[in-house]
Amino acid sequence: MNTELMKERWRRNWYKFSRNPLSILGLAVVLAIILIAIFADFFAPYPEHAFVFVDFKNAKRPPCWQYLCGTDMAGRDILSRIFFGFRYSLVMAVSVLSVATPPGVLLGLVAGYMRDTWVDIAIMRVADVFLSVPSMVLALAVCSMLEPTLYNAMLAVTVMWWPWYTRLVYGAASSIKNEYFVQAAEVTGASTFHILFGEIFPNCLSTIFTKMTLDVGWVILIGSTLSFVGLGAQPPTPDLGTMVSDGSKYIPAQWWISLFPALFIVVIILGFNLLGDGVRDMLAGD
């Protein structure tokens, strides 16, 4: 691929992406969150407050210039803990999606290409079983069977997440399979492996990417929910869900302890959704 064409393609993609100002806002929010998560030690006003730290003199302080989001019951700066919380949220999202997507996509490709054979029926009925159980219930079941840790929460979310990709790719693959270019590859004798990964898969990529971007927010939400009910990250881990749960006992008097972590969960999800919409616009009709 020569550089001229490459540049041209980037320019066009950026044009399509930036037509909607909300996409740019989403991109900015996501970039900011990623930067803050990576350099949390540097951005947080009190990095030492992230884990175990006690300062009862300054406990339950409302938002002020010294503590922008106030302090919690142990006197830890809430904003600092939120910044560290981004780290856990992003790690959760990235690891869940990078583990759930490949098998989900692979199964969807195979089932879609072998549509109406026993392979298709076997794969899709199993996926249907997973999809028919409400995702939260499934995650709660897995989490309550295992020890409540962040890793088990990730495992639980992964188990419920792959069928969505299977179904998404199944739909795409079973329609692409009827395109003449797939038939041309069959006529010429190309292997099933080539047809799946060389012909069908590249045409599913844009759909997969869009869904992944949109899913980051949802995975974070589910992860936070698990932490909120005590089945995810355990204190003193600065997880946003755990923080909301810890602070809920002090509502309404010390509202800031729960409110600010909750608000930032909303910001993360909103950011990734806006970005996802932009990615969809960019990849549509390409």
Partner 1 sequence: MSKEIVVVKDLKKWFDTDEGIVRAVDDISFTINEGETFGLVGESGSGKSTTAYTLMGIYTPTAGEISYKGMDISMGIKQRPLSLKKEMQMVFQDPGSSLNPKRSIEQIIELPLQVHGIAKDERRKRVIELLQMVELPEDYLDRQPTKIGGGEKQMVAIARALATNPTFVTLDEPTSALDVSMQAKIINKLIEFQETLDLSYLFITHNLSLMRNVATRVGIMYLGKLCEVAPTGTFFSKPLHPYTKMLLSSIPVITREEEAVKPDKVVSMGEIPSPVNVPSGCYFHPRCNECTERCKREDPPMVEVEPGHFVKCHTLSE
Residue closer to partner 1 (CB basis): 9 or 19: 9
**How many residues can be counted in the chain?**
286
Point out which residues pair with 68 in neighbouring strands. none
Tokens coding 209:
């990417």
What's the closest the beta carbon of residue 8 comes to partner 1, in angstroms? 10
Residue closer to partner 1 (CB basis): 1 or 253: 1
What's the closest the beta carbon of residue 198 comes to partner 1, in angstroms? 8
- Site residues, partner 1 (CB under 8 A): 1-2, 5, 179-181, 183-191, 194, 198-199, 202-203, 205
What's the closest the beta carbon of residue 95 comes to partner 1, in angstroms? 28
Which one, of 214, 271, 219, 195, lies nearest residue 100 by Cα? Answer: 219
133 vs 199: CA distance, rounded Å: 33
DSSP-assigned letter for residue 61: P
Residue closer to partner 1 (CB basis): 132 or 188: 188
Residue closer to partner 1 (CB basis): 156 or 195: 195
What's the closest the beta carbon of residue 78 comes to partner 1, in angstroms? 47
Q: How many helices (H) and strands (E) does the chain have?
A: 12, 0
What's the closest the beta carbon of residue 27 comes to partner 1, in angstroms? 25
219 vs 262: CA distance, rounded Å: 15
Residue closer to partner 1 (CB basis): 9 or 125: 9
CA atoms within 13 A on the CB side of 55: 15
18 vs 278: CA distance, rounded Å: 8
